[in-house]
Amino acid sequence: MDSHDSRSEYESRMHRVLAYIDEHLDEQLDLATLADVAHFSSFHFHRLFSAWMGETFGDYLRRRRIEVAAMRLAAQPRTRILYIALSVGFGSAEAFTRAFKNRFGCSPSAWRELQSLQRHAKSNSDQANSKHGQALQVTFTEHEVSRKLNKENIMKVVLIDRLPATVAYFRHLGPYGEPIVRFWQETYVPWAVMNKLGADHARYGISHDDPSITAPEQCRYDACAEVLPDFMATGGALKKTIPGGKYAVLHFNGTVERVGEAWAALLRNWLPSSGLQLDGRPCFEYYPKGAAFDCKTGKFECEICIPVVPL
């Protein structure tokens, strides 16, 4: 195995570990278990994890639990704080509150109230702007998005059962927005052309982190192509399976400047009233075979998919 293949193998194993952590945040996680997931020696795994991630396993686990909890507090305003604490692995509301204050400087209840006030303030601001004929100001790079979407689009949210999908992917670590556009163009497209993965292959864009919560330099994004299970990933690409199951899907047709608005409306407006909640599977944008793209207007179509289970 040459040095390039060796690094790809390490990267693939560490990605499996990170996915396993997100899927099991409500469980006791230890280094021995994660070493088995990665097929590495448990004796050396802590050092390997710290070297690869730039933070210890304990620090990473605490950060992910708090960040996921913060997203759920905003997306599930009627869910008890204790339940959210338990769902990300805290044994009590007191322990959760202490950790949350250390990370965000306020209690979980204060955070939730702040998110609600910001959502209503943004909605009122949008209404005032629309009365004066002003365009919605949406900064995709920072995901400072509108908290509303018109009723016609809200009605297009459907629940579907998706089958698992094998994908080959490249991971971007850093800020979202324009860097992601360049990542697709400069990293994914040349590789896809070399591997004859054109418009007849479905694509996925997976944002693993919320940039309003996670530091920009720690945000993870995967640019993926759907492939057959026996596809041989080359050129630095990795392979994984996107889990199947129940997803809420919003069909989107618009520009990059509006896609953040659609995400916010789905997570902050539709989800809290749906009787459903997110689980540990990733959210993603699904670009089906032959998905429309207008190079003149910049409009594209995709399906915004969020994994859901009963509340």
Instruction: For tokens 């075979």, name the residue.
Output: 289
Is 108 inside a domain boundary?
no
248 and 163: one domain? Answer: yes
**What single-letter amino acid sits at 234?**
T
CA distance linking residue 225 with residue 167, whole number of Å: 5
Predicted confidence at residue 141, as pLDDT, reads 31
196 and 97: one domain? Answer: no
173 and 96: one domain? Answer: no
Is 217 inside a domain boundary?
yes
Say which DSSP state 110 is in. Answer: H
Predicted confidence at residue 125, as pLDDT, reads 55
CA distance linking residue 288 with residue 204, whole number of Å: 8
Predicted confidence at residue 33, as pLDDT, reads 94
* pTM, full prediction: 0.76
Quote the longest CA-to-CA distance of the chain.
64
> Which residues 6+ apart lie within 8 Å of 292 measured at CB?
253, 299, 300, 301
Q: pLDDT (tens digit, 0 to 9) for every residue of the chain, 311 residues total?
A: 555 677 788 889 999 999 999 999 999 999 999 999 999 888 878 888 998 899 999 999 999 999 999 999 988 888 999 999 999 999 999 999 999 999 999 999 999 998 878 766 665 555 444 433 322 222 223 333 333 444 444 448 999 999 999 999 999 999 988 899 899 999 999 999 999 998 778 999 998 988 888 999 999 999 999 999 999 998 999 999 999 999 999 999 988 778 888 888 888 778 888 888 888 888 999 999 888 888 788 788 999 999 999 87
Question: Cα dihedral angle (25, 30, 31, 35), rounded to 10 degrees?
Answer: -70
91 and 178: one domain? Answer: no
Q: Domain boundary at 103, 134, 150, which?
A: 103
Give 284's strand partners: 305
Predicted confidence at residue 143, as pLDDT, reads 34
CA distance linking residue 132 with residue 130, whole number of Å: 5
22 and 164: one domain? Answer: no
Three-class DSSP category at 256 = helix
Is 130 inside a domain boundary?
no
| Helical segments of 39-162, H only | 42-53, 57-75, 81-87, 93-104, 108-131, 151-154
Is 213 inside a domain boundary?
yes
Using CA atoms, how far residue 133 sits from 24, 127, 166, 246, 257, in Å, is: 47, 10, 45, 39, 18
Cβ-count burial 123-140 (b if 16+ within 10 Å, e if not): eeebeeeeeeeeeeebeb
Query: What CATH number is given to the structural domain containing 90?
Result: 1.10.10.60
Is 280 inside a domain boundary?
yes
188 and 287: one domain? Answer: yes
Predicted confidence at residue 160, as pLDDT, reads 96
176 and 290: one domain? Answer: yes
Number of domains in the chain: 2
289 and 175: one domain? Answer: yes
Cβ-count burial 13-31 (b if 16+ within 10 Å, e if not): bbbbbbbbbbeebeeebeb
- Structural domain for 283, as ranges: 158-310
Is 263 inside a domain boundary?
yes
Is 223 inside a domain boundary?
yes
195 and 95: one domain? Answer: no
Predicted confidence at residue 243, as pLDDT, reads 95
Predicted confidence at residue 2, as pLDDT, reads 57
76 and 187: one domain? Answer: no
162 and 303: one domain? Answer: yes
Q: Domain boundary at 40, 69, 103, which?
A: 103
The token pair at 47 is: 């050092």
Is 55 inside a domain boundary?
yes
The total number of residues written for the chain in this structure:
311
184 and 300: one domain? Answer: yes
Predicted confidence at residue 150, as pLDDT, reads 45
